[in-house]
């Protein structure tokens, strides 16, 4: 394959992005009342959403299915070619079928559309040709027509597959809002990795693995130093007899105190501590603890239940969990 020396890759990239961005912008004007009807059809269905395609559209169908499943809409991917060679059995009577195709005229797509119609399942066509066989066989339509592919020969699916992807996202997001799908629901389907942890991991899951450094308000300096050193969290809480939080003493507080005091044997915890320290409830999300630490440029937070002191969560706990 001959390489054209005068080709500027940056110019090609910018042109490609501009063409695909233009294709996406055009989608908004191509939406009709069918979009709302499709949302309602999927919401009312007792079965699942089956999404099918062939070629590049099949790849887009797989991504759309993944998005639907993670956002509360049960969906199954069905390859159009495999469908007409035995996999049609996965389509149940209560399912809704969405078929994705740019041309709407691929042989496998035409056969699949007719078979699904014969089954009596609702057929949603996401198609780039409104005069196609698929468009005419569909009960409801999503128009993903593009004026030009980003490919210089106007052949390779580029703008058209981008349009399909965005239309799928628009449908998934609309269904999310109609279902009242919240971050708590999202967390149920994403329990693994950093994303899942941000949505479900709580302060209570982390602080319990740490020591619980604490001293009474009248504790002398030596006891304070020993407690901080022994518990290895860089700080200690100052509490009363009922374990209610009064203040905190950090390594930094000790250094500043040593610079100012000569009579160290008379110094007590209440004289050194910072009152009204930054704290967080045990049931708060760990991600909220991270944001509070960042905002206040600190490396630990005291964990409380109302005013009752429970322990300390440290920045290292969040790093260990991959939240930072």
7 falls in which pLDDT band (50, 70, 90)? confident
User: What is the rounded distance in angstroms from the CA atom of residue 34 to the CA atom of residue 32?
Assistant: 5
Please tell me whether 79 is known to bind a ligand.
Answer: yes
Collapse the DSSP code of 270 into the 3-class scheme (helix H, G, I; strand E, B; otherwise coil) and give the result.
helix
198-209 pLDDT tens trace: 767 899 999 999
> Is the model's pLDDT at 53 over the cut of 90?
yes
CB atoms within 10 A of CB 132: 21
How does pLDDT run across 60-89, given as a tens digit for each residue? Answer: 999 999 999 988 899 999 999 999 888 898
> Which class for 22: exposed (0-12), middle (13-18), buried (19 or more C-beta within 10 A)?
middle
157 near 56, Cβ under 8 Å? yes
* CATH superfamily, with its number, for domain 9-181: Glucose-6-phosphate isomerase like protein; domain 1 (3.40.50.10490)
What is the distance between the alpha carbons of residues 28 and 281, in angstroms, rounded to a whole number?
45
Q: What is the pLDDT of residues 101-140, one digit of tens each?
A: 999 999 999 999 999 999 999 999 999 999 999 999 999 9
Calpha distance 73→176 (Å, rounded): 8
pTM of the model: 0.67
Could you give the percent of the chain with pLDDT greater than 70?
92
Annotated domain spans of the chain:
9-181, 203-320
**Cβ atoms of 151 and 102 closer than 8 Å:** no
In the block, which residue shows the tokens 């209570």?
204
Q: Inform me whether the pLDDT recorded for 184 exceeds 70.
A: no
Angle formed by the axes of helices 221-231 and 251-260, to 10°?
150
With 0-12 / 13-18 / 19 or more C-beta atoms within 10 angstroms meaning exposed / middle / buried, residue 10 is exposed
CATH superfamily of 203-320: CBS-domain (3.10.580.10)
Q: How confident is the model at residue 196 (pLDDT cuts 50, 70, 90)?
A: low
Is residue 4 over pLDDT 70?
Answer: no
**Residue 224 burial (CB count, 10 A):** 23
Q: What is the Cα–Cα distance from 248 to 245, expressed in whole angstroms?
A: 8
Question: What's the pLDDT tens digit per position in 286-303?
Answer: 889 999 999 999 999 999
CA distance 25 to 85: 38
């Amino acid at each position: 394959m001959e390489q054209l020396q005068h080709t500027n890759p940056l110019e090609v990239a910018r042109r490609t992005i501009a063409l695909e961005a233009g294709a996406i912008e055009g989608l908004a004007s191509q939406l009709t009342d069918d979009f709302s009807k499709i949302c309602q059809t999927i919401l009312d269905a007792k079965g699942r959403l089956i999404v099918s395609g062939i070629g590049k559209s099949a790849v887009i169908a797989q991504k759309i299915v993944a998005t639907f499943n993670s956002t509360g809409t049960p969906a199954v991917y069905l390859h159009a070619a495999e469908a007409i060679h035995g996999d049609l059995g996965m389509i149940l009577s209560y399912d809704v079928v969405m078929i994705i195709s740019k041309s709407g005229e691929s042989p496998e797509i035409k056969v699949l559309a007719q078979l699904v119609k014969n089954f009596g399942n609702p057929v949603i066509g996401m198609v780039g040709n409104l005069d196609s066989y698929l468009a005419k066989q569909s009960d409801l339509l999503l128009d993903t027509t593009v004026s030009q592919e980003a490919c210089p020969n106007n052949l390779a699916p580029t703008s058209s597959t981008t349009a399909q992807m965005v239309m799928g996202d628009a449908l998934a997001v609309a269904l999310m809002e109609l279902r009242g799908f919240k971050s708590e629901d999202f967390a149920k389907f994403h329990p693994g990795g950093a994303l899942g942890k941000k949505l479900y991991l709580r302060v209570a899951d982390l602080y319990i693995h740490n020591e619980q450094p604490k001293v009474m308000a009248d504790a002398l300096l030596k006891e304070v130093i020993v407690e901080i050193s022994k518990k290895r969290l860089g700080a200690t809480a100052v509490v009363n007899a009922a374990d209610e939080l009064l203040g905190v003493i950090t390594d930094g507080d000790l250094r500043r105190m040593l610079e100012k005091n000569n009579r160290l044997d008379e110094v007590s915890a209440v004289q050194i501590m910072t009152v009204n320290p930054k704290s967080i409830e045990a049931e708060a999300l760990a991600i909220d603890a991270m944001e509070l630490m960042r905002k206040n440029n600190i490396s630990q937070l005291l964990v409380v239940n109302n005013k009752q002191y429970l322990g300390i969560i440290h920045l290292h706990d969040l790093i260990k969990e991959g939240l930072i």
